[in-house]
Structure 1
Amino acid sequence: MAEIVEIADPTDPRLADYRDLRDVQLRKTLEAEHGLFLAEGEKVVRRAIEAGHTPRSFLMAPRWLEGLADVLEPTSAPCYVVAESLAEQVTGFHVHRGALASLERRPLPSVAEVIDGARSVLVLEDIVDHTNVGAIFRSGAALGFDAVLLAPRCADPLYRRSIKVAMGAVFSVPWTRVRDWDDALPGLSRAGFTTVALTLADDAVAIEDAVAGLDRVALVLGSEGHGLSSRWEQAADRRAIIAMRAGIDSLNVGAAAAVACYITARR
């Protein structure tokens, strides 16, 4: 059973993992240095533990102890119990979902491990907004995608905001980062996938046509601002577009991913 520790001092060093959660740059440094990530909310904390992630500690208001008793039972990690006002002082925002957990990061698997046996894969290039990354994971999980690959500069799927928006899908969908950016798409083609880039390129065809009849598909999505790099756009086996009303040339990448996943899942 987790050790229940009541804390009344917001400067207590034991709360270091939870400090200043709105400071993205600080959190990136701290979480990388200590090999940790945070889960927020009862459902997400539960899903992280059920996925086998090892907790470092928990932070919650007293009213959440009973609801998470089964999660706390098998672990020896400390559970810091604080007033909700103190939690807000420490984290920098109102923790309305009541519970947080600090968990150990795992080493990332290889691309080969992640795509082994997969039929539908999402490939993300330089998507830097944590909310978009979380939304894409959630859509991929809901619509039956088997894995996600990220270019080196993509936002961290295990950042708290990504996990929250994904509703824990980052724990159920295998993912990793590609080490060789230049060879990422040709490597997927050699592995038996047809890579389909979402783009406004002149030779792009309707996504329904681009994915029709394919066995293994890798949907490729680019950054929020400029879309795919010219290298990845040209390296893809096919280029596809989501048809839309005249005068509107694109969707938010999270929305585009949801539409593309839906169509691809029904190919």
Structure 2
Amino acid sequence: MEVIRIDDINDERVELFTKYNEAQLYHYFEPNGGVFIAETPEVIKRALNRGAEALAFLVEEKAFETEVVRQLFENIDDSVKVFVAPLNVINNITGFNLTRGVLAACRRPALPEPAELLAQTKRVAILEDVMNPTNVGAIFRSAAALGVEAVFLTHPSADPFYRRAARVSMGTVFQVPWTYFVKDSDYMETLQQAGFKVVSMALKENAIPLSTPELKNQDKLAIVFGTESTGIKDDTISKSDYVTIIPMYNEVDSLNVAAASAVTFWELCSKK
């Protein structure tokens, strides 16, 4: 690796970290993929272990001397540049406060095809238009901890490699296999053709309790979660094999989607 010390955040050599927003980074190498920015040593370590190609690092000078950060550089290519700067310089990046001393710019890995991933799994989560990156990150963390084998997203959903999503997930977005369904495709048909029974989490009159034994006993189960504002689409619910709810107390009708995912994964995935 090449260590380069900088004292000006406008240095053009660190433009990957300063010039582009995350939407622009997503298309950075278009048509051959893009870039994501990972932060904190644990998230970066999991990204590198996933096989993400590190392009550059931006490190706060005190963090650069720590063992946990030094370990990140053990297996990177000699051509990768590590930019080191004082914290007050790094914090001049608009709208950003560095968390735990290190950023990594990485090339986005290719995502698997949905059919390929479905053929390898039996317990999967579906995020239908879940657009809040904090919720996406929290769902991935629960998925990793509680036995979900893969996560599938519709295209309006937040990018799991979005910096906030990856940070909230504690880097598990790089551990749990995931992909997007083909845009505007009938993903319910894709799931059912792959042999999955589909259960939608929705407040409907025909909903059954989450603890219903029939749900746990399904060989291949896909669990659908919807956006906070409008929930799962009516068409998705009508095509589902089951609609289920988490029973509530004290006149509370539902949980935040991230909290609901943890309860659901514990009930339907971790005990399988």
Pairwise same-fold verdict (TM > 0.5): yes
- Which amino acid letter does the alignment assign opposite residue 10 of structure 2? T
CA distance in 2, matches of 1:180, 1:10: 38
Alignment gaps of 5+ in structure 2: none
CA separation of 1:246 and 1:96: change in aligned 2, threshold 3 A: closer
Contact residue 196 and residue 240 of structure 1 kept, 8 A: yes
For residue 18 of structure 1, report the CA deviation from its aligned partner. 1.4
SS in 2 for 1:208: coil
2:225 is matched with: 221
2:106 is matched with: 103
CA separation of 1:10 and 1:143: change in aligned 2, threshold 3 A: same
Contact residue 111 and residue 179 of structure 2 kept, 8 A: yes
SS in 2 for 1:113: helix
Instruction: Tell me the alpha carbon deviations over residues 185-235 of structure 1, each in whole angstroms, 9 at most, x when there is no partner.
Output: 122122111110000111110011151311111100001101001111111
2:74 is matched with: 73
Following TM superposition, the consecutive aligned residue runs of length 4 or more in structure 1 with deviations greater than 6 angstroms are none
For residue 15 of structure 1, report the CA deviation from its aligned partner. 1.4
1:147 is matched with: 150
- Which amino acid letter does the alignment assign opposite residue 31 of structure 1? Y
CA distance in 1, matches of 2:241, 2:184: 16
CA distance in 2, matches of 1:96, 1:223: 28
Q: Is 1:43 aligned to residue 52 of structure 2?
A: no
- Pick which of 133-142 and 66-75 moved more: 66-75
Alignment gaps of 5+ in structure 1: none
- Which amino acid letter does the alignment assign opposite residue 121 of structure 1? V
Q: Among 231, 236, 239, which residue is 1:235 paired with?
A: 239
Q: Is 1:32 aligned to residue 36 of structure 2?
A: no
Instruction: Tell me the alpha carbon deviations over residues 210-267 of structure 1, each in whole angstroms, 9 at most, x when there is no partner.
Output: 5131111110000110100111111111110110014211111001111111101225
1:86 is matched with: 89
Contact residue 20 and residue 91 of structure 1 kept, 8 A: no
For residue 181 of structure 1, report the CA deviation from its aligned partner. 4.2
- Which amino acid letter does the alignment assign opposite residue 186 of structure 2? D
CA distance in 2, matches of 1:114, 1:91: 38
2:260 is matched with: 256
- Pick which of 227-236 and 70-79 moved more: 70-79
CA distance in 2, matches of 1:246, 1:190: 40
For residue 91 of structure 1, report the CA deviation from its aligned partner. 5.0
CA distance in 2, matches of 1:132, 1:20: 27
TM-score, with length taken from structure 1 = 0.93
Kindly tell me the number of residue pairs found equivalent between the two proteins.
262
SS in 2 for 1:89: coil
For residue 92 of structure 1, report the CA deviation from its aligned partner. 3.0
1:7 is matched with: 6
Contact residue 123 and residue 149 of structure 2 kept, 8 A: yes
CA separation of 1:166 and 1:184: change in aligned 2, threshold 3 A: same
CA distance in 1, matches of 2:154, 2:27: 17
SS in 2 for 1:137: helix
Q: Is 1:207 aligned to residue 180 of structure 2?
A: no
Q: State the Cα RMSD in Å.
A: 1.6
Contact residue 25 and residue 36 of structure 2 kept, 8 A: no
CA distance in 1, matches of 2:63, 2:221: 42
Q: Is 1:57 aligned to residue 61 of structure 2?
A: no
Instruction: Tell me the alpha carbon deviations over residues 12-40 of structure 1, each in whole angstroms, 9 at most, x when there is no partner.
Output: 1111121278xxxx321233234100111
Instruction: Tell me the alpha carbon deviations over residues 53-106 of structure 1, each in whole angstroms, 9 at most, x when there is no partner.
Output: 100100101222242223213322100000001110025322131011000002
CA distance in 1, matches of 2:18, 2:226: 32
Contact residue 210 and residue 245 of structure 2 kept, 8 A: yes
